[in-house]
Structure 1
Amino acid sequence: MERKSERELRRPFEESLRLHAFYRGKIETHLKCPVRGYEDFALWYTPGVAEVCRHIEQDPGLSFTYTSRWNTVAVVSDGSRVLGLGNIGPEAALPVMEGKALLFRYLGGVDAVPLCLRVSSPDALVEAVKTLEPSFGGVNLEDIAQPACFSILERLQEELEIPVWHDDQQGTALVVLAGLLGALDVVGKKREDIRVALIGAGASNLRIASLLMKAGVRGENIVLCDTKGILHRDREDLARSNPWKWQFCLVTNGENLKGGKKEAIEGRDVLIALSSPGPGVIEPEWVSRMNRDPVVFACANPVPEIWPWEAKEYGARIVATGRSDFPNQINNSLGFPGLFRGVLSVQARKITDEMCLAAAFALYHFAKRRGLHEEYIIPTMDDWEVYVEEAKAVASVAVEQGLARRPRRPEEVEEEARSLILRARRMVAEGVRNGTIPLPPEGESA
């Protein structure tokens, strides 16, 4: 793999700043109904809308029929752990949440509203989200620090009657599993045999460990490592302070291995790092001590824990990162748009691990049909049809689990998903063609 220059690595940051200044935001509200004349206001607003209100008063579930609630998600963050930037606050989190809304719309045909909240506690965030429930068909939690993110997700999943999802947990796990399935195919290894090191024990890697075990990876063959070292059964600090981490001390690391990152990585088939931005977090020499044909996922943003070319030079057969400027991007954008498309199409009440597994396997099978190889272990965001496949798979599981308010046949979900996704893409393309979405002058400074 070719090394990139410092200038090449900096370009996405500089260009992003320029374009954000030009567009002053990435999303805006568009009408989906016609306004043919003055008389239409009496239908879309008063007095005609009062009849719609009366029907919903009698049956609140009709809000999914008569309003855009059925296809609208709240993207909620408190800005306490944004990308690899840390606790930067709700205002600084807004560009990320807007970007999330863009991806929901363009990739999944889902309307999304970014909501960055200034809250003082996990309880306050939970209460704020609960007040939003009547306006939305689902909630996407984003960039919330651990351990608060665990209890917030659990409480909202229990207390709301719409699906609640924490993308840093479930979304990351879904996409990592999909990429790993593809990578294992390429290197010829089986899930039940591999030994896995997870560097970082935050929200993402804890959920990854959980989903890997549900997919057939043996818990005793998984080792997690946090900033204080490997998780093992003698980590009494975690028994007292972090029950979510402590449970993994009990179900992983069958050898009760101790030490740090180096010891965790040695003799493993797979390294999955979601820790601190690099480079230098993972030493290249540690990769050379892994098993034959090692798989390395260095997924910290905005800079991976080890540069891909370094991992390759020291023996990695397959390398994936979270960045789009390298092959094998492990990005949540492959997960949440399609998953929510399926969830919303059947008006599911919850999102379950089985739905996440269905989405991950849909990604894997799509990539397998396209032809897996060392630099294509998972679909890219250009493979738009994969979101239709995910939606269909997820909706089918929701119906099977009895969680769909509106059970539908797979072919109905497929048809709706394809129509909505293509509509979103056509609207953007048409906007660029007719100038309603202007293109910035080349090289204009921010």
Structure 2
Amino acid sequence: MSQNSNNARQNALDYHEHPIPGKTATALTKPTATAHDLALAYSPGVAEPVRAIAADPADAYRYTNKGNLVGVISDGSAILGLGNLGALASKPVMEGKALLFKKFANIDAVDLEIGTQDPAEFIETVRRLGPSFGGINLEDISAPRCFEIERALIESMDIPVFHDDQHGTAIIIAAALTNALRLQGKSLDDIRLVLVGAGAAGTATLNLLSDMGLNRARLRVVDRVGVLHTELDDLPSHHADVAAETDDRTLEDALKGADVFIGLSAPNLLTPDMLMSMNERPIVFALANPDPEIRPELAHSVRDDLIMATGRSDYPNQVNNVLAFPFIFRGTLDCRASRITPAMKIACVEALAALAREPVPASVLSAYGAADLSFGPEYILPKPFDPRLIERLPPAVAAAAAADGVARMPYRPYPNATGA
């Protein structure tokens, strides 16, 4: 291991250990300076909101933190790019997610690591925790179990349940693709799209793009077995749904004449020859982390008509879930939506894409040390520290919730929603 790698590792460990272990803590929101304060906070005063909530459960949103509290929940079966390391090892990631909720949308979040990887046990545990929270963010759960878990929880709970590895990723990819297609003069309903990696994020991405008008007849999906095609037997349901009637069998076959490559797979799968075989003005989203399916330097040396995105912060056009999940939850909580619908996801996509086409505020340029950022091949998504995200995305999501009939109250922005 290099000296730089040793330093990076130690810096990360020190960050998590000092000055106190972990990344989150409890903050008090009411005065506690006098005996009278404590009598209101606990006995006997606390009996009054208890009686009110027993008479009308909706009063939990008036008298407790339920309406601004999200459970960030994992079983540790698919931690980042590290794999199945178990519930306890996932805790730093879940704490980190809670930190991002608070920082970007002033949402309080509690990380919960569930000590089972049996889907039925996990579902029942989370369902029983439901009264505590205004929403559930599932995280780092492997496919295909994650589909069963999310579906069952959505059906059995009256609060929004959102698996960010699926839908957060899909929203950012869809927003980036919306703008890349605009720049390349192409349309979603007419492109040939190749997706590599039909796991949680890939499946959700295809479902969202289909809702937005993707022509599935022109889609090719590649997984470990090669191109998913209708002559393959015993495909899991999420693979069978995207199997094509085609003679293509390899990634090389599928990419000939393709307009878009979306990689959610492994490093260095996309070769220069494959890239050269794509259609004019190609779009390449190489999102494997930390090493993409093709390095941007190599890709741009092969094609000068390319628009490219990665999952990395050290290249332009980072596909970063923090652009979506705090804000879609903020809008959802602020209209007390019972679930997150496809239309709410699309509203988030459209608001994100539109924001990237606007002039960038000076505060954002300063935060990123940039002299200029403007809509174009190297700027197709807003930056996470753009203060307009909290202004634009939540009301767009809430408006879609109201149109879909899942909002239980008019949208009302949360105080100081810009967070910590």
Alignment length, in residue pairs?
403
What are the residue-to-residue correspondences of 1:291-306 with 2, within 5 Å?
Answer: 291-306=279-294
Determine if contact 1:162/1:348 at 8 Å carries over to the other structure. Answer: yes
Give the whole-Å Cα distance in 2 for the aligned partners of 1:400 and 1:294.
Answer: 36
Residue 434 of structure 1 aligns with which residue? none
Matched residue, 2:80: 83
Name the aligned partner's letter for residue 179 of structure 1.
A
How has the CA–CA distance of structure 1 residues 14 and 327 changed in structure 2, closer, same or farther, with 3 Å as cutoff?
farther
Q: Please give the secondary structure, in 1, of the residue aligned with 2:392.
A: helix
State the Cα distance separating 1:184 from its structure 2 match: 1.3
Displacement of 1:21? 3.0
Structure 1 residue 257 displacement after superposition: 3.8
1:247 aligns with 2:250: no
Q: Structure 1, residues 125-173: CA drift from partner, whole Å, max 9, x if none? A: 1001011101000001111011111111111010000000111111111
Contact 1:297–1:319 under 8 Å retained in 2: yes
Q: Distance in 1 between matches of 2:9 and 2:317?
A: 20
Corresponding residue number in structure 2 for 1:323 = 312
Cα–Cα, structure 1 residues 182 and 17, in superposed 2: closer, same or farther, change >3 Å?
Answer: farther
2:31 to 5, 29, 34: 34
Change (3 A) 1:331 1:9: farther
Aligned residue runs from structure 1 range 204-215, under 5 A: 204-215=201-212
Aligned mates of 1:137, 1:327 — CA distance in 2: 35
**Which residue in 1 is equivalent to 2:255?**
265
> Does 2:265 correspond to 1:275?
yes
Q: Is the 8 A contact 1:230 1:257 kept in 2?
A: no
Counterpart in 1 of 2:329? 340
Give the secondary structure class of the aligned counterpart of 1:369: coil
**Counterpart for residue 103 of structure 1:** 100
Secondary structure of the structure 1 residue equivalent to 2:213? coil
Paired letter, 2:122 = L
Alpha-carbon distance in 2 for matches of 1:339, 1:9: 35
Runs ≥4 residues deviating over 6 A: 6-11
Structure 1: state its 5+ residue gaps: 1-5, 426-446
Q: CA deviation at 1:7?
A: 8.1
Partner residue of 1:364 out of 353, 362, 365? 353
Distance 2:348 2:4 in 1: 33
Match of 1:188 among 185, 188, 193: 185
The answer on 1:351 being equivalent to 2:354 is no
RMSD over aligned Cα, in angstroms? Answer: 1.8
Aligned: 1:388 with 2:391? yes
8 Å Cα contact 1:271/1:297 also seen in 2: yes
TM-score (norm 2): 0.92
The one-letter code of the counterpart of 2:349 is A
Q: Tell me, what secondary structure is at the counterpart of 2:13?
A: helix
Higher helix share: 1
Tell me the CA shift for residue 274 of structure 1. Answer: 0.6
Length-normalised TM-score, structure 1: 0.87
Cα distance, 1:198–1:275 mapped onto 2, change above 3 Å: same
- Amino acid of the structure 2 residue aligned with 1:262: E
Q: Conserved in 1, the CA contact under 8 Å of 2:343 and 2:404?
A: no
Quick one: distance in 2 between partners of 1:299 and 1:223? Answer: 17
Alpha carbons of structure 1 residues 356 and 193: separation in structure 2 relative to 1, 3 Å: same
What is the CA-CA distance between 1:214 and the residue it aligns to? 1.2
8 Å Cα contact 1:186-1:372 kept in structure 2: no
Q: Does the 8 Å contact 2:196/2:222 carry over to 1?
A: yes
Is the deviation greater in 185-194 or in 226-235? 185-194
Q: CA deviation at 1:11?
A: 7.3
1:310-339 Cα deviation digits (max 9, x unpaired): 221221611111121211110111111000
- TM-superposition CA deviations, 1:288-316 (whole Å, max 9, x none): 21111211111122322222212212216
Mark the runs of 5 or more structure 2 residues left unpaired by the alignment: 360-373
Give yes or no for contact 2:167–2:201 (8 Å, CA) kept in 1: yes
Distance 1:73 1:58, change over 3 A: same
2: CA distance, partners of 1:186 / 1:203: 28
Q: Are 2:161 and 1:171 aligned?
A: no
Are the equivalent residues in 2 in contact too, given 1:106–1:421 (CA < 8 A)? no
Q: C-alpha separation between the residues in 1 aligned to 2:73 and 2:388?
A: 27
| Cα distance, 1:10 vs structure 2 | 8.7
CA–CA distance in structure 2, aligned partners of residues 300 and 63 of structure 1: 42
Query: What is the letter of the counterpart of residue 353 of structure 2?
Result: Y
Look up the equivalent residue of 2:36 and give its one-letter code. E
Task: Tell me which amino acid in the other structure corresponds to 2:248.
Answer: K
